[in-house]
Each structure stands twice: as C-alpha cells, then as structure tokens.
Amino acid sequence: MPTSTHDDGFSQATYEPSSLIDLLRWRAVARPEGWAFTFLEDGETEQPALTYGELDRQARAIGKVLKDRGACGERVLLLYPPGLEYIAAFFGCLYAGAVALPAYPPDPARLNRTLPRLQAMLSNAQAGFALTAEALAPTVQTLLARDSGSRTVQVYAVDGIAGGAGDDWLPPPTSSDALAFLMYTSGSTGMPKGGDG
C-alpha cells in the first residue's frame, strides 16, 4: 500500500493498480476523506459528495451481498436515475466480480415503450440480478417478475444495505482484462444492442 506523500497530498505507491478495485482501495487508504464523486443536480448545483472512504465502504457492502448470493461472474442490471447511488452500485458490482448492466429504470408513464427495451436488454444479457433504489424496488420487482419470462431476477435495494455489511469482504478472483460492464445503445430504430467495456 502507499507509503510516501507527494505535494498534492496523495500518497504514492511503488506499484501500479491493476484494476479499478485496486485503484479505489488505494485511494480509500491514501485519502479516505477526499472527494471521489459529486453530483450536479441540474448541471450546476452540487449535491453531497461521495468520498473515497464512503465509496469503498458502500462498494464492499454491495459487493459482499452480491457475492454471497452468487453474482460473481454474472450480469447485474443497474436501474438508477443519474446520481451517486449508481456509482456505488457500479463499484459494488466490480467488488463482487460481477458485470454491471446500466439502464434507466422503467418509466411508469411510458411502460409500453420503456419496458420492452428493458426486457430486450435483460434477455440478451441474461441478467439474474438487479440493483435499484429502495423507492423503486417494489415497482422494479413487480415489473421484472411479471415480464421476465422463465428467468428469475433477484432485485436488491442498495440504499437498504448497511455499510458495515462489507467488513469481511474479500476481493473477487479477477484480472485486469475482466469485463466490467455491458453498455447498450439507445437503439431508437430497433432493439438495444450491447457492447462491452
């Protein structure tokens, strides 16, 4: 882990992080109170920031829950509006050794348009898990249970996972070239098509 300090306040390491997990863990030790992310609600107004220490704690808790439920190596649907919860869920997938599949939550006012696209993504990616906000979880659970066909999708509300849940988290077996996420195009003239990242 980092041992010396540079003028900018960051601790320096004698190694290069080999993954995003290594990088975040390094930053969480070197600068736990440093800002990792902040969200601009309207593009200008700053909302509370997420520090490296907070993000690491949240990611470990989410990662532990996912790993304990068999999500390592699996695709995990992330159903969030833009914000810091999405960031924590994304890193939680990395900490579980799972592949994140980001998507907007289905819009209840436009289900006839948004739900088929979500179902196409879900079917194509073969996702067995979904993470969402606690306020959206009942709707997401109902919609995915109703329309997922024979595939069972386990839905978890990330804001309901306690930060201490990841105290005994262990890094997943992974490599620097492991698949981190699948991003689907908007596909305005057809069904969504996935690309890896």
State how far the Cα of 10 lies from the Cα of 129, in Å rounded to an integer: 36
Of 135, 130, 124, 141, give the one whose Cα is nearest residue 183.
124
**Which is higher by pLDDT, 148 or 90?**
90
pLDDT (tens digit per residue) in 4-46: 343 334 445 466 777 888 889 999 989 999 998 888 877 777 7
State how far the Cα of 8 lies from the Cα of 31, in Å rounded to an integer: 11
- Report yes or no: 158 and 135 within 8 Å, Cβ to Cβ: no
State how far the Cα of 25 lies from the Cα of 94, in Å rounded to an integer: 12
Q: What is the mean pLDDT of residues 163-192?
A: 71
pLDDT at 169 over 70: yes
- Kindly give, in sequence order, each residue whose CB lies less than 8 Å from that of residue 50, ignoring residues fewer than 6 positions away: 35, 36, 37, 38, 58, 84, 87, 88
- Residue type at 69? R
Q: What is the mean pLDDT of residues 126-136?
A: 89
What domains are defined for the chain?
14-196 (3.40.50.12780)
Q: What is the mean pLDDT of residues 74-79?
A: 93
Q: Compute φ and ψ for 86, nearest 5 degrees.
A: -60, -45
- Report yes or no: 163 and 55 within 8 Å, Cβ to Cβ: no
Residue 1: predicted pLDDT: 42
Burial of 2 (0-12, 13-18, 19+ CB in 10 A): middle
- Predicted confidence band of residue 64 (pLDDT cuts 50, 70, 90): very high
- Predicted confidence band of residue 3 (pLDDT cuts 50, 70, 90): very low
**Which is higher by pLDDT, 64 or 121?**
64
